[in-house]
């Protein structure tokens, strides 16, 4: 069979082969042509530097590359920047004007830096690779004749979104500041909350071509050094041309790519990021993405929100119990329903059983087919409501939920009880605090529905056992995702299911192996005797 397939494949390729191709693609040759040598250094000759800059940046082809030639006390010089990414007024007033009008001696590197450029962020570099990286990110580079380095000034400015309220981590009580797409502003928001010199923010870049700026944050006096080095090693050993979003970076550094549960927490909230750093975790922020990655984490942290700590613990416990019931309903309710319907009739009252069977009497499909149709329809309506324009989204939800649902019941395509089950499961999935993990719960719902239709409660028990066994082998930065279930003094399941008074939260999580385990003194309310 394989031999026959190869013969057919060769025949098709031979039939469409061009006898006189105009262009033949050679991957090795194309790679060497598209990536010319970048190991160029700045020369003392201004003409040679100008020629190298024009070739390096494709001047004349790229319309936004700007070169301004001028003289400093009769000595030739030029400035390089990208239009639209720099503050041109600042360049005119603080760079070009002092250099062209206030210089009265032969310019050198020291005189230009110390007496002429009135800017607080200016460095020198003799490598074109570093100069290009800075210019591509909105800096300008100044080249002077007989000076073998370029002076790089931070003059970047571009239109950006303001600091708005978070969309995915909305709260009623608490700050309403969220990250935006500028990682410098994002790091400043975290620094504004943690006013401590032990907060370390290391700047990295990811992507061989994109060179996307990345901020790597941790508390030096709290975070475990092994976790810090492990994450830094993973980021530095990514070989990829471009990375633009933290979701892409997450997929490059996660432990298990095939797990239904994400191994990192994405948040839009600076206060949540700062709180995680204080606990001893690590956060990663990427330029162009309004989310921060927080790791390592455990499975229990997908069930809690920032709102839990803003509320008094009795209210927080009530919300946690309701949220947990919603999550269990979103995963197990369809499988539980079909298990009872197919195998365990004695679990429900007789009158209710007769009512369910009466509504399903005219339905031509099995209970499993009915649930699958409704689940797919629900996911289709949810996906469509996200993609359509906002004014139409609510209308689409009403049409899908009321008109189509009522029409399906009237046409005896589905039963009313199936719509109730699928609707409750869908509402329960919206109670999941983390958007990413809700996808895993939705996929698990199909898995449990099939097991329940085949084996009943035994299938559901088997599915839960398999699911927990898989989760025990999933790690987040080398830490087991089920570590929060350990029966330690400061890490047990009750700490995650129920909220304690804030004055009793004395210790950090043991799985982080922080340098300092204690968050507060044993008696933090010293006024209480």
Strand order in the sheet with 212-219: 199-206, 212-219, 282-286, 292-295, 265-267
Report whether pLDDT(404) > 80. Answer: no
End-to-end CA distance of the chain: 84
Strand partners, 69: 78
Q: Residues with Cβ < 8 Å from 327, sequence gap 6 or more?
A: 303, 428, 429, 431, 432, 441
pLDDT tens, 260-298? 889 999 999 999 999 999 999 999 999 888 999 999 988
The pLDDT value given to residue 128 = 87
Interhelix angle for 435-455 vs 367-387, to 10°?
170
Report whether pLDDT(320) > 80. Answer: yes
Residue identified by tokens 């194309």 is 30
**Average of pLDDT values for 382-411?**
69
Give percent above pLDDT 90 in the chain.
Answer: 20
Strand partners, 122: 153
The pLDDT value given to residue 313 = 85
A 10 A CB-CB count for 31 gives 9
Question: What mean pLDDT is reported for the chain?
Answer: 82
The pLDDT value given to residue 408 = 76
- Cβ proximity of 391 and 282 under 8 Å: no
The pLDDT value given to residue 331 = 92
Give the CB-side neighbour count of residue 527, counting CA atoms within 13 A.
1
- Cβ proximity of 501 and 515 under 8 Å: no
pLDDT tens, 485-512? 665 655 566 766 777 888 888 888 888 8
C-beta pairs of 410-414 under 8 Å, 24+ apart in sequence: 412/362, 412/363, 412/364, 413/363, 413/365, 413/373, 414/363, 414/365, 414/370, 414/373, 414/374
Report whether pLDDT(34) > 50. Answer: no
The pLDDT value given to residue 487 = 59
The pLDDT value given to residue 28 = 45
Quote the Cα angle for 318-323-326, to 5°. Answer: 130
Cα 494 → chain centroid: 29
Quote the Cα angle for 215-219-221, to 5°. Answer: 150
- Cβ proximity of 485 and 471 under 8 Å: no
- Cβ proximity of 65 and 53 under 8 Å: no
* Maximum mean pLDDT: which of 86-90, 140-144, 509-513: 140-144
The pLDDT value given to residue 36 = 44
The pLDDT value given to residue 211 = 84
In the DSSP assignment, the letter for residue 245 is: S
Minimal CA–CA distance to 231: which of 213, 214, 209, 208? 214
Report whether pLDDT(374) > 60. Answer: yes
Report whether pLDDT(22) > 50. Answer: no
Task: Give 482 or 7, the one with higher predicted confidence.
Answer: 482
State both tokens at 422: 């699928």
Q: Report the alpha-carbon distance of residue 525 to residue 122 in Å, rounded.
A: 49
Q: Residues with Cβ < 8 Å from 103, sequence gap 6 or more?
A: 72, 73, 111, 116
Interhelix angle for 246-253 vs 225-236, to 10°?
110
Among 10-14, 98-102, 392-396, the range scoring the smallest mean pLDDT is 10-14
Report whether pLDDT(77) > 90. Answer: yes
Bond before 296 cis per omega within 30 degrees: yes
Q: Report the alpha-carbon distance of residue 7 to residue 472 in Å, rounded.
A: 47
Report whether pLDDT(311) > 90. Answer: no
Strand order in the sheet with 122-125: 65-72, 75-82, 140-144, 150-153, 122-125
- Cβ proximity of 141 and 280 under 8 Å: no
Q: Report the alpha-carbon distance of residue 154 to residue 70 in Å, rounded.
A: 20
Task: Give 103 or 93, the one with higher predicted confidence.
Answer: 93
The band of 390, judged by pLDDT with boundaries at 50, 70 and 90, is: low
DSSP-H helix ranges across 260-312: 270-279, 306-310
A 10 A CB-CB count for 427 gives 12
Give percent above pLDDT 70 in the chain.
Answer: 86
The band of 231, judged by pLDDT with boundaries at 50, 70 and 90, is: very high
Report whether pLDDT(332) > 50. Answer: yes
φ, ψ for residue 328, nearest 5 deg: -65, -40
pLDDT tens, 161-188? 777 778 777 777 778 888 988 888 899 8
Task: Give 197 or 492, the one with higher predicted confidence.
Answer: 197
State both tokens at 457: 């409660």
């Amino acid at each position: 069979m394989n031999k026959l397939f190869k013969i057919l494949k060769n025949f098709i390729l031979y039939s469409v082969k061009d006898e006189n191709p105009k262009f033949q693609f050679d991957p090795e040759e194309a790679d060497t042509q598209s990536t010319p040598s970048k190991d160029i250094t700045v020369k003392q000759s201004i003409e040679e530097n100008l020629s190298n800059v024009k070739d390096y940046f494709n001047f004349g082809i790229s319309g936004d590359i700007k070169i301004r030639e001028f003289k400093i006390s009769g000595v030739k010089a030029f400035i390089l920047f990208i239009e639209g990414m720099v503050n041109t007024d600042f360049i005119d007033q603080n760079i070009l004007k002092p250099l062209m009008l206030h210089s009265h001696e032969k310019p050198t590197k020291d005189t230009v830096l110390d007496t002429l450029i009135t800017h607080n962020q200016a460095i020198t570099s003799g490598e074109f690779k570093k100069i290009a990286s800075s210019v591509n990110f909105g800096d300008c580079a100044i080249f002077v004749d007989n000076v073998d380095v370029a002076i790089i000034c931070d003059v970047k400015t571009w239109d950006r979104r303001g600091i708005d309220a978070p969309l995915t981590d909305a709260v009623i009580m608490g700050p309403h500041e969220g990250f935006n797409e500028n990682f410098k502003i994002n790091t400043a928001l975290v620094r504004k909350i943690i006013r401590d010199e032990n907060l370390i923010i290391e700047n990295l870049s990811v992507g061989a071509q994109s060179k996307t700026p990345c901020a790597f944050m941790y508390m030096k006096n709290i975070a475990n050094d092994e976790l810090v080095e492990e994450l830094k090693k993973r980021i530095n050993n990514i070989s990829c041309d471009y990375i633009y979003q933290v979701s892409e970076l997450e997929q490059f550094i996660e432990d298990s790519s095939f797990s239904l549960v994400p191994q990192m927490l994405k948040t839009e909230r600076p206060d949540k990021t700062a709180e995680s750093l204080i606990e001893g975790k690590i956060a990663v922020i990427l330029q162009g993405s309004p989310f921060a990655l927080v790791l390592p984490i455990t499975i229990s942290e997908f069930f809690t929100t920032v709102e839990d700590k803003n509320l008094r613990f009795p209210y927080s416990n009530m919300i946690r119990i309701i949220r947990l019931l919603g999550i269990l309903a979103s995963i197990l309710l369809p499988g539980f329903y079909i298990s009872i319907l197919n195998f365990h009739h004695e679990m429900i009252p007789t009158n209710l059983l007769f009512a369910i069977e009466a509504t399903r009497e005219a339905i031509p499909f099995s209970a499993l087919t009915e649930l699958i149709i409704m689940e797919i329809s629900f996911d289709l309506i949810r996906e469509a409501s996200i993609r359509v324009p906002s004014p139409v989204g609510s209308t689409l939800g009403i049409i899908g939920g009321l008109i189509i649902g009522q029409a399906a019941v009237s046409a005896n395509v589905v039963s009313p009880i199936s719509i109730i089950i699928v609707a409750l499961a869908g509402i329960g999935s919206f109670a999941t605090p983390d958007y990413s993990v809700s996808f895993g719960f939705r996929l698990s719902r199909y898995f449990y529905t099939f097991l329940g239709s085949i084996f009943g409660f035994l299938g559901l028990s088997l599915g839960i056992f398999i699911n927990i066994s898989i989760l025990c082998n999933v790690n987040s930065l080398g830490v087991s995702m089920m570590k929060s279930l350990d029966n330690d003094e400061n890490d047990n399941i009750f700490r995650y299911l129920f909220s304690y008074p804030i004055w009793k939260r004395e210790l950090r999580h043991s799985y982080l192996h922080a340098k300092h385990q204690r968050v507060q003194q044993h008696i933090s309310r010293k006024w209480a005797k």
